[in-house]
Every structure is written in structure tokens, then in C-alpha cells.
Amino acid sequence: QITLKESGPTVVKPTQTLTLTCTFSGFSLSTSGVSVGWIRQPPGKALEWLGIISWDDDKHYSPSLKSRLTITKDTSKNQVVLTLTNMEPVDTATYYCAFGHNWFDPWGQGTLVTVFS
């Protein structure tokens, strides 16, 4: 059974850097073909694809966030880390990590991050 869970701060200040960790079980990110993605959802709004990282460390980012977003993996810890710099109030959202590449299944429960001074 594959499970994922996001963790990190619930509140960050404007201009700060957000670091979120996705801890997963049921698969290894060293296995060929495996990927983990990040998706976010502002309150009351639609899902937004952020980026993915694959088993071979291949990464793809949303063009609109590419200058601020970094996704890394720690295979030994079964973790994927999202880093988003220069946070703004518009970055307030529930952040999800999910298993997959072309599609995502399953998803973590999500974590709400509020950007607030």
C-alpha cells in the first residue's frame, strides 16, 4: 500500500522560504519509473501542478514557478522535499504530494500553508 504525508510549517512570513517534506511508504524512489509530484490548491480554487521528481533525479517544474521552486529527494529516508523561495500571500494554499508522473495516485492528505505577516 502506497501512502504519502506532507509536513512542514503552517505559517510562513512574506519573503521567507517554504520547505515542505513528503514522507512516503510502499515504494522506493530508487526504483525505475517511479516519480513523486507536488500540487497545490489555494483556498476555494483549482488544483495547480507544481513539479515532479523521478527515480533518476529528472525534474520538471511549472514554468511560472521555475525560478523559485526546487524539488529534491532523499532516497534513504523515503522523502521528497519542496522548497519555494520568496513566499507571497498568493502562495497560500494546501500543498499536496502524490505518487506518479503522468497522473497521480494516491495523494497525501495535504498541508495548509498560510503566508501571513
Q: How far is the CB of 47 from other proteins (least distance, A)?
A: 4
**Per-residue cell: 76:** 534513504
111 Cβ neighbours under 8 A, 6+ residues apart: 6, 7, 8, 10, 20, 94, 95
Buried b (16+ CB within 10 A) or exposed e, 92-117: bbbbbbbbebeebeeebebbebebee
103 binds other proteins (CB under 8 A): yes
Q: How far is the CB of 65 from other proteins (least distance, A)?
A: 10
23 binds other proteins (CB under 8 A): no
2 binds other proteins (CB under 8 A): no
Q: Give me the 43-62 binding string for other proteins, x by CB under 8 A, dash otherwise.
A: ---xxxx-xx-------xxx
72 binds other proteins (CB under 8 A): no
Number of other residues whose CB lies within 10 A of the CB of residue 36: 26
Q: Which residues bind other proteins (CB under 8 A)?
A: 37, 39, 46-49, 51-52, 60-63, 96, 101-110
